[in-house]
């Protein structure tokens, strides 16, 4: 079977080998971005559905239904990838079910609180889980417990990018694969070289450094350690003069009561680079004081169309809304997405910082991964000391990504991506 599948063109021998070996109850494809793990697992998925019993449900799960559509269904319906089989896949974006080879397939978003209760009442014969590291361990365990159709070998297929080696998926399932009978397949970027342009591969290898290179290029489950933005170079990334801005994207705001409040105004230059234009550094005071300070700041600088505020800063968000600030939204504050975006932008010199952002520039060299008391690095968390302006930059970049990504087509986004919709209003 392996040799026959390898002749399908898109599959390498290693990818085809994994399909032939994916016979266990739990099969996990993990590794680098663009390594072919999703396409490979979907080939296996299409092979399983026609023989699935009518007595069990079939489910596909992603972070949201939209991510299932983008990551999985658009691939399955692509004839260039799956040939005639794509004609047997039907799905409308956002719908609760799809049809594959005439079978109803339930589409679920793990971030939906109703998903767990839906699965709890199911008897499942086949399950597919995208971005497995993003679901809670309890959700995963419950999903496995629902694979129980008598007389049929139920299976769960999973894909994921690497995370911390202490992540529960790695420690409890992947590292114990031989003991528990699971199958785990790991891929590096260059394992998929036959399907990728060499310029694309070289671009990704240049984009990711340090932790992100180990995870997203080499497919390693690596601990974070040391300086987060180790690629930062003042000679490359700091500018004395700003170009003309084609768009003001917004301001990221990290509020502070027992630490400084901070804001970073972000723009998109006519050279299609992102710029930290200036910073807002209000003096200590009440939320009303900070609101007045922000108004003065915006009267003296380009007015931001959006205010991306730390979701935990409820008092400041209420004050800004009360004082008539437009588009006060909860910032995208996930560490993995925001830190990865900024690291990629710095590595490719597509993010620059104006010299007037003195607090931000002072923080970046000391912006390091946090450690526990025994010296071990925590799972992808920055040290919460002197990080206010770095957090504000992270909020601005991650929250406005839907606006600037089309202007930076060479930037590859690895890891989890939330919905492309604007963050919820605060």
pLDDT tens readout for residues 181-194: 999 999 999 999 99
Check whether residue 174 and residue 323 sit in a common domain: no
Which sign does the torsion angle of CA 276, 281, 282, 287 carry? positive
- Domain end marker among 196, 225, 251: 196
Number of domains within the chain: 2
Query: Dihedral sign, CA of 43, 142, 58, 93?
Result: negative
Shared-domain flag, residues 48 and 135? yes
pLDDT band at 414 (very low <50, low <70, confident <90, very high): low
pLDDT at position 409: 80
CATH of the domain at 387: 3.30.420.280
Residues 175 and 256 both lie in one domain: no
Considering the domain architecture, whether residues 177 and 251 belong to the same structural domain is answered as: no
Is residue 214, in this structure, part of any structural domain at all? Answer: no
pTM attached to this predicted model: 0.72
pLDDT at 138 > cutoff 50: yes
Q: In the structure, what pLDDT confidence band is assigned to residue 7 with cuts at 50, 70 and 90? A: very low
CATH number of the domain within which 145 lies: 3.40.50.300
pLDDT tops 60 at residue 9: no
Inform me whether the pLDDT recorded for 115 exceeds 60. Answer: yes
How far is residue 297's CA from residue 418's CA, in Å, rounded to a whole number?
A: 30
Are 318 and 186 within one domain?
no
Q: Are residues 52 and 128 in the same domain?
A: yes
Could you list the residue range(s) of the whole structural domain that residue 58 is in? 2-196
- CA 351 vs CA 175, 238, 266, 293: distances in Å: 38, 9, 10, 27
Q: Span 117-124, mean pLDDT?
A: 88
| Average pLDDT of the chain to the nearest whole number | 89
| 299 & 164 share domain | no
Mean pLDDT of 43-67: 94
Looking at residue 164, its pLDDT comes to 83
Contacts of 117 (CB under 8 A, 6+ apart): none
In a domain, 204, yes or no: no
Mean pLDDT of 253-258: 88
Highest mean pLDDT range out of 2-11, 227-236, 347-356? 347-356
**Position 384 in a domain:** yes
How confident is the model over 107-120, as a mean pLDDT?
82
Among the candidates 168, 196, 224, a domain finishes at: 196
Residue 76, in any domain of the structure? yes
Residues 144 and 244 in one domain: no
Together in a domain, 6 and 98: yes
- Give mean pLDDT, residues 397-421: 74
Whether the pLDDT of residue 379 is over 60: the answer is no
Q: Is residue 77 part of a domain?
A: yes
Q: Is residue 218 part of a domain?
A: no
Residue range 21-38: average pLDDT? 96
In this structure, the answer to whether residues 189 and 255 fall within a common structural domain is no
Tell me, yes or no, whether 30 lies in a domain.
Answer: yes
Distance (Å, whole) CA 233 – CA 246 = 25
- Does 102 or 382 have the greater pLDDT score? 102
Kindly report, residue by residue over 142-192, the tens digit of the pLDDT.
999 999 998 899 999 999 999 888 899 999 999 999 999 999 999 999 999
Contact call for residues 91 and 18 (beta carbons, < 8 A): no
Confidence of residue 373 (pLDDT cuts 50, 70, 90): very low
- Specify if 146 maps to a domain: yes
Whether residues 122 and 179 fall in one domain: yes
Q: Which residue has the higher pLDDT, 112 or 426?
A: 112
The pLDDT assigned to 418 comes to 37
Q: What is the pLDDT of residue 289?
A: 95
Residues 6+ apart with CB under 8 A from 163: 133, 169, 170, 215, 221, 336, 379, 380
Of the listed ranges 20-34, 76-90, 198-212, the least confidently predicted one is 198-212
Residue 401 gets the label, from left (phi > 0), alpha (psi -120 to 50) or beta, of: alpha
Asked if pLDDT for residue 421 goes beyond 80, the answer is no
- Sequence-distant (≥ 6) Cβ neighbours of residue 220 within 8 angstroms: 162, 214
pLDDT tens digits along 196-242:
999 999 988 988 877 888 898 999 998 767 788 888 999 999 999 99
Which pLDDT score, from 0 to 100, does residue 15 have?
Answer: 94
Q: Which two tokens stand for residue 51?
A: 């023989």
Identify whether residues 340 and 398 lie together within a single domain: yes
What pLDDT score was predicted for residue 380?
A: 65
pLDDT at residue 284 in the model: 87
Find the mean pLDDT for residues 289-315. Answer: 96
């Amino acid at each position: 079977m392996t040799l026959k599948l390898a002749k399908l063109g898109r599959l390498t021998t290693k990818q085809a080998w994994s399909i032939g070996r994916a016979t266990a109850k739990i099969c996990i494809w993990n590794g680098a971005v663009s390594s072919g793990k999703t396409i490979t697992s979907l080939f296996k998925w299409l092979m399983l559905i026609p023989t699935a019993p009518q007595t069990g449900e079939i489910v596909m799960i992603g972070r949201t239904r939209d991510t299932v559509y983008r990551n999985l269904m658009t691939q399955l319906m692509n004839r260039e990838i799956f040939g005639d089989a794509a004609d047997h896949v039907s799905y409308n974006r956002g719908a609760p079910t799809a049809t594959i080879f005439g079978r109803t397939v339930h589409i679920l978003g793990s971030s939906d609180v109703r998903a767990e209760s839906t699965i709890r009442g199911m008897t499942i014969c086949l399950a597919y889980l995208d971005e497995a590291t993003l679901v809670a361990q309890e959700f995963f365990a419950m999903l496995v417990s629902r694979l129980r159709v008598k007389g049929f070998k139920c299976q769960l297929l999973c894909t994921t990018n690497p995370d911390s080696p202490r992540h529960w998926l790695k420690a409890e399932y992947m590292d114990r694969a031989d003991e528990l009978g699971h199958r785990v397949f790991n891929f590096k970027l260059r394992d998929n070289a036959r399907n990728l342009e060499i310029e694309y591969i070289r671009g990704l290898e240049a984009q990711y450094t340090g932790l992100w290179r180990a995870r997203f290029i080499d497919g390693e489950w690596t601990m974070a350690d040391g300086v987060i933005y180790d690629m930062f170079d003042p000679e490359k990334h700091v500018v004395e003069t700003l170009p003309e801005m084609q768009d003001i994207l917004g301001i990221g705001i990290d509020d502070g009561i027992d630490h400084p409040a901070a804001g970073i105004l972000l723009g998109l230059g006519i050279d299609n680079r992102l710029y930290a234009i200036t910073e807002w550094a209000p003096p200590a005071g009440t939320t009303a004081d900070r609101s007045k300070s922000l108004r003065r700041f915006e009267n003296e600088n380009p007015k931001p169309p959006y205010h991306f505020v730390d979701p935990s800063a409820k008092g400041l968000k209420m004050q800004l809304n009360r004082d008539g600030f437009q588009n006060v939204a909860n910032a995208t504050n996930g560490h993995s997405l925001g830190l990865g975006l900024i690291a990629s932008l710095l590595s490719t010199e597509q993010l620059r910082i104006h010299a007037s952002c003195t607090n931000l520039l002072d923080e970046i060299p000391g912006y390091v991964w946090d450690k526990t008391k025994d010296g071990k690095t925590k799972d992808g968390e920055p040290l919460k000391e002197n990080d206010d302006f770095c957090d504000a930059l992270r909020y601005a970049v991650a929250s406005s990504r839907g606006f600037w990504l089309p202007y930076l087509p060479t930037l590859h986004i690895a890891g989890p991506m939330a919905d492309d919709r604007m963050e919820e209003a605060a």
